[in-house]
Every structure is written in structure tokens, then in C-alpha cells.
Structure 1
Amino acid sequence: MEKTLKSLSRFSASLCAALIAVLVALASGNAYAGRSCTAAKLSPQAIERSLTLAQQTASALENTYEKDGTRVVLLARAGQDLTRYQQTWSHVAWAYRLPTGGWQVVHKLNDCGSDRSMLMRHGLGEFFLDDLWRHQAAWHTVPKAWEEALWSLLQNNTRVVAMHEPRYSMVSYAWGTRYQQSNQWAAETLALAAEPGMLSRQQAQGWLRLKDYKPAILEIRALTRLGGRATAANIAFDDHPNAQRFANQIETVTADSMLAWLERLAPGGQGRTGL
């Protein structure tokens, strides 16, 4: 069975209250989006900037809720520098408004640089409490026809894990099922919310194709692939078709491609915050 989702306190509008959650996270957190647990500790300045970004984002999402009732968005952060791959954002989560108020995220995280992953619930403060490449965030709404179903699914600990594959690769093939990376889980979970009768990841991917989702194609050369596979347990390329792999074309689900797809489906639903 899947691990029970870990529930953490949602981000508070008060910076002092948020600092308490930060101390807990620093003491017990052990999962990162494709990063090692031995990463350097954050400086007080980085913590302050992350919490400020979380406050800005919470305020902006609440304004969106008050304006049109939006209760779910795809939320992206810039945890790594991916500019060499023409990508702006590195990781997405589903952010949803709690029935009691405030916003929480559910997302898939790599377990300390291993080949395994887990799903976790975090407040916005902890979501941004990372060694961010840029202290900026982006989000996009989903089509209204799917929003209520997605909002309900994200709060259901049984259904939210239905599309989760624990075997992890940071560059998993967008149309494969051997591995699954964080953004891929988010896309396939939206498919499940839109079509609740789905029973497999293959069906979810078929729905994504039908809805014209287009993965990113990253140019990753052979030496880079060999180095990554040899030194990192959370990177694998053996699920990609040989023709694409040998042509250095790695087709994977990126945060940028998901945001662009949602903009095509629900134009004008984007937002940004940042320092």
C-alpha cells in the first residue's frame, strides 16, 4: 500500500507563526523534488525570502478565490536553473483552498535522491522552503468543468494516490509507466479527476493526448545521460524509446509544458508572484 500522506500545518498569514512550522520542517523534513537530503541548510535570509514568497502567494490565491471562487490551481516554483533546457519552472504541485480557509498543496517528492518517491501535503510556507533558484512562483487555474472534482479528489487520501507510481526518475518518459516524476503525477491526477472511471496510468495518458497535452522535448546528450545515470539513483533513461533517446530527444512532463497546456485550455487563468 501507498504510504499514508503526511499532513502538515497550512501556511499562516503571520510570519511569526510560519517560523514555527519552518523549525519543524528543518528538523524532520526528508523529501525533496529530485534533490539530495544532504543539501546545504538554508540561510536565515533564504528562509525569510521563501516565507515572504509564500505570504505573497497565499494573498494572491485568496484574492483569486474571492474574485471568482477558484479553489484549485497548479502551482509552480523555480527550484533549479533549467535555462539550458529552455525551462523556467522546475516543479509543480496542486494547491487547493481548505474548507476552513487557507491554502495547502499536495505534491510528489523524490525521497532523498533515491529511485523512490512519495506524496506529501504541505503548507505554502514549506512548499517554498527550498534552496530556490529564483524566489518566484507561477500558477494556473484549471477549466471550471474539472475544478470541483479535482478539489474533492485532492482532499481524499485514497483517491489522490491512485495514479502514484513510487518508482521515480527525474526525466521519466511522458508516455511511459515504468517510472513517474513529480510533474507527471500532477498531470495524470488531473486526468483522473476529469474522468473518475480511469483505472490505469495508461488511460490517464490517453486522456492527456486526447486533450492535446504536449510534453517538453529536452535535448540531453549521451555523455550527460551516462553521467547522470551513473551518479544519481533518481535519473533513468531506459524507459524512453530508443529512437528518441539516441537522437538526444528526451520527452518528459515539465512544469512549463503543463502551464502552457492549461493556458490553452483556460486562457487568462495564470498568475505570478515573486521577489
Structure 2
Amino acid sequence: MFARLLLAALALCASAGAWAGIPTFCDRSNNINAEDQDRVLQFAAVAKQELERSGARVALISRAGLDLSRFNLLYSHAGIALKESTGPWAVRQLYYACDESRPRLFDQGMAGFALGADAPQRGHISLLFLPDEDSTLLEQAARDKRLALALLAGQYSANAYAFSTRYQNCNQWVAELLASAWGGLQGEDGTRAHAQAWLRDQGYRAGPIKVPSHWMMFAGQFVPLVHVGDHPLDDLHALSLQVSVPASIEDFVHSRAPRTQRVELCHDRSRIVVHRGWEQLGADCTPMAGDEVIELAP
């Protein structure tokens, strides 16, 4: 039980062994009753409507998957939503392939992406729609199979250091894809290292993730899918890890492409809230003035 709690605390991506994107351990079951499933499917349908309404062909998408409130984080998992993929608006993302014990790339429908949340009674999705030129570059990079695979590491770590090529988590792959797209790095050798160098030069700030105690940091070395060997010693001593998280990616995109439009959606047991703008909805899904509120069918 301790190991599961610790991994849930540090893991920032889905380690999916099934279509729904099950987080944390590979042997974990993601039980969801019919009522919760219906609610999440309604939520996914509204997210797809927002994607269609945007007129875009690509969007950066994030999901609140695990409870990371102890780190003051809401969103845990990011990907690239493509209008034309294996289905309309599938999410291209990195996940952990349990059977192979390594990271893989996976196109997942919006319903499966939404169902990957840890608590189906409540959910959050964030969508970023980039200006035309930036959007085109991102779509081209996301559809470039050679580039996508060149950016894929051989080893997975849920808390991978953002500026090392030793491991990788899902959000790190998205950040490096952005760097390759916007930095014109597609043709260079050492793609991941060049992408990370470009991110540093452009002021990308990963995390930091504040670990509550030295004891938890030490214990993390014995938990599957969590590693600390790639992190600088100074960061470990300071209990502050530079890990790519959706908030880091969104802040970077907003600073570099300020005309990017953001739509955030959340749901609880009774309603869906659609919020347009950069002020973030809270974990309790309370609507702000001007937000669209959709009552869920009983």
C-alpha cells in the first residue's frame, strides 16, 4: 500500500496497459460503474464539441489523472489532440506499455482519454488552440512518424528529469515535440538532446515538483517507474524536482505564443463547466462568471 501511495504521489503520467489509460501500476484495476461511465462519456462528448467548434486541426490537451494536490498540481497528463487520426480527435501521447516494460506512443479516442482519470466522479480537461503558424508546425511534427519515434526514449520514469535523455515521461515527450516543431530541429541528430537544449535556451521551466520529505525522496528509489538517478544532486537535496508537467507546458506556450486560446472543461456529479480563458478552474469545478454550465442527464 505504501508503494502505491508513493507512486501515485510522484507519477505524472498514465502508465497504460489498457485502452482507457490506467494510471500507476500495471496490475491496477480501474473499476467504474455505469453511472460514472455515462457521466464521463458525456464529458468527453462536450470536449469533442469544443475541439470541433475551434476550427483547428490540432490542440494541446491535458487531463487531471491522479490526485497531485499535495504538490499543488491539478493536471498530470498531456498529449496532442489531432482532428484526423485513428478517429476524429484522437490523442497522440506517450504511455507505459506494461507488457513490454517500456514507453510507447499511442493514439487514444477522447472517451478513453477522459476515462483515464483516477476519480471518475470528477474530471478536468484543458485545451490549447495555438495561432495558425504555431499550430501548423505542431501538427506537422506530431504527424512525422520518424520524428515522433526519434523523440521516444527507451526507458520510462514517471518523474523523469526534464533535461536528461536517460528516462522520459509523457509530458516530457510533448515538450520535446513542441521544441522540435518550433525550433526547426527535425533534421538534427541527437533529437532529444537538441530539443532539451532549445527548451532551456527559450526559458522553459519544468516544475519544480516539491517533494514533501527526504524520507519520501529516498523511498522513491524502491518504487517501480519512479527514478531519481537522473536528477541533479542539488535538486534532490532541495526536495525540488525539475519534471515536465502540463502546467509547465501551458505556461511556456502562453509566454511564447500569447495569442493561444485556452478552453478548460470540468465536471462533477451533476454538471459540466466550460471556461474560456487562462484563469484556471479550481479542483472543485466551481464555475466563474460567464462560464457555460451544462447540466448532466440523470
**Shorter-chain TM-score: which interval?**
0.7 to 0.9
Aligned pair in 2 of structure 1 residues 28, 136: CA closer, same or farther (>3 Å)? closer
1:260 Cα shift?
A: 1.6
Q: Is the 8 A contact 2:21 2:115 kept in 1?
A: no
Q: Which residue of 2 aligns with 1:20?
A: none
Structure 1 Cα separation of the partners of residues 123 and 20 of structure 2: 21
Structure 2 Cα separation of the partners of residues 48 and 58 of structure 1: 15
Structure 2 Cα separation of the partners of residues 45 and 140 of structure 1: 29
Q: 2:261 aligns with which of 242, 258, 269?
A: 269
The alignment's TM-score, normalised by the length of structure 2, stands at: 0.75
Q: Which residue of 1 aligns with 2:37?
A: 47
Q: Which residue of 1 aligns with 2:192?
A: 201
Residue 37 (str. 1) matches residue 37 (str. 2): no
3-state secondary structure, aligned to 2:108: strand
Q: Which residue of 1 aligns with 2:161?
A: 173
3-state secondary structure, aligned to 2:125: strand
Q: Is the 8 A contact 2:23 2:118 kept in 1?
A: no
Q: Is the 8 A contact 1:32 1:111 kept in 2?
A: no
Q: Is the 8 A contact 1:33 1:108 kept in 2?
A: no
**Counterpart amino acid of 1:116?**
R
Aligned pair in 2 of structure 1 residues 34, 202: CA closer, same or farther (>3 Å)? farther
Q: 1:104 aligns with which of 74, 90, 110?
A: 90
Q: 1:146 aligns with which of 134, 148, 157?
A: 134
Aligned pair in 2 of structure 1 residues 183, 214: CA closer, same or farther (>3 Å)? same
**Counterpart amino acid of 2:248?**
S
3-state secondary structure, aligned to 1:165: coil
Structure 2 Cα separation of the partners of residues 89 and 136 of structure 1: 8
Q: Is the 8 A contact 2:64 2:117 kept in 1?
A: no
1:152-231 matches, within 5 Å, as: 152-194=140-182, 195=184, 196-199=186-189, 200-220=191-211, 221-230=213-222
Structure 1 Cα separation of the partners of residues 239 and 139 of structure 2: 38
Structure 2 Cα separation of the partners of residues 210 and 128 of structure 1: 34
1:114 Cα shift?
A: 8.6
**Counterpart amino acid of 1:193?**
A
**Counterpart amino acid of 1:256?**
A
Q: Which residue of 2 aligns with 1:233?
A: 224
- Over residues 135-160 of structure 1, what are the superposed CA-to-partner deviations in whole Å (9 max), with x where a residue is unaligned? 12112123433322321332343332
Q: Is the 8 A contact 1:116 1:234 kept in 2?
A: no
Aligned pair in 2 of structure 1 residues 242, 249: CA closer, same or farther (>3 Å)? same
Structure 2 Cα separation of the partners of residues 74 and 216 of structure 1: 18
Q: Between 154-163 and 89-98, report the one with greater CA deviation.
A: 154-163
Structure 1 Cα separation of the partners of residues 168 and 86 of structure 2: 32
Taking only aligned residues, the RMSD between alpha carbons, in angstroms, comes to 2.5
Aligned pair in 2 of structure 1 residues 113, 80: CA closer, same or farther (>3 Å)? farther
1:171 Cα shift?
A: 0.7
Structure 2 Cα separation of the partners of residues 141 and 33 of structure 1: 26
Q: Which has the higher contact order (CA 8 A, sep 6+)?
A: 1
Aligned pair in 2 of structure 1 residues 170, 113: CA closer, same or farther (>3 Å)? farther
Q: Between 171-180 and 157-166, report the one with greater CA deviation.
A: 157-166
1:27 Cα shift?
A: 11
Structure 2 Cα separation of the partners of residues 129 and 222 of structure 1: 34
Residue 84 (str. 1) matches residue 70 (str. 2): yes
3-state secondary structure, aligned to 1:216: coil
**Counterpart amino acid of 1:58?**
K
Q: Is the 8 A contact 1:35 1:110 kept in 2?
A: no
Q: Is the 8 A contact 1:98 1:104 kept in 2?
A: yes
- Structure 1, unpaired ranges of 5+: 1-25
The alignment's TM-score, normalised by the length of structure 1, stands at: 0.81
**Counterpart amino acid of 2:167?**
Y
The percentage of aligned residue pairs carrying the same residue is 26
3-state secondary structure, aligned to 2:208: strand
Structure 2 Cα separation of the partners of residues 198 and 210 of structure 1: 17
Q: 1:256 aligns with which of 247, 250, 270?
A: 247
Q: Between 257-266 and 151-160, report the one with greater CA deviation.
A: 151-160
